[in-house]
Copies of this chain bind each other. A is one copy, B any other.
């Protein structure tokens, strides 16, 4: 967590920006979790924690953190962005459960190697890979089996 503060401060300084109190509040909240979260989650969390920061400032700070590569944005087709620490295992893939919305992760270096190779074959210069597998998590799959069995029996 010290690292992130350092990197953020450096980035701000380089752009003649300041590490103000609201930005620090957001920074701590962001790096105090290891989940995938949305801007709204964060705003609500700060509200509950008694350290509210305005929507505009939260969005502005999230943008700054993405710009300096401390955060990565993800989109699961819900019309809102999810954020996660860029320092977590790089270029991992996501399993998104369409039934309950749970997000889990996996990492397989072969997948990344393959993507890199494919992109370059097409003359494409890859910056970020995003592998998302939509379907049903183990729990929800089990629930379905039970429900379907009940419907038949």
Contacts and interface: CB of A to CB of B under 8 A. Distances in A.
Interface of A: 73-77, 79, 81, 93, 95, 97-98, 104, 106, 108, 110-111, 114-115, 118-119, 121-138, 141
21 contacts: A73-B77, A93-B115, A93-B118, A95-B119, A98-B127, A104-B122, A106-B118, A106-B122, A111-B111, A111-B115, A114-B114, A115-B133, A119-B135, A124-B133, A124-B136, A124-B137, A124-B138, A125-B135, A126-B135, A129-B134, A130-B130
A61 to B, nearest CB: 19
Given A75-B77, A76-B75, A123 B137 contact: yes
Contacts of A134: 126-130
Contact of A133 (B74, B108, B119): B119
Contacts of A133: 115, 118-119, 124, 126, 128-130
Given A126-B133, A132-B132, 12 more contacts: A77-B81, A93-B115, A97-B124, A119-B135, A123-B137, A123-B141, A125-B137, A126-B134, A127-B135, A128-B135, A129-B131, A131-B132
A127 B136 contact: yes
| Copies of this subunit | 2
Nearest to A138: B123
A75 B129 CA distance: 14
Contacts of A97: 124
A72 to B, nearest CB: 11
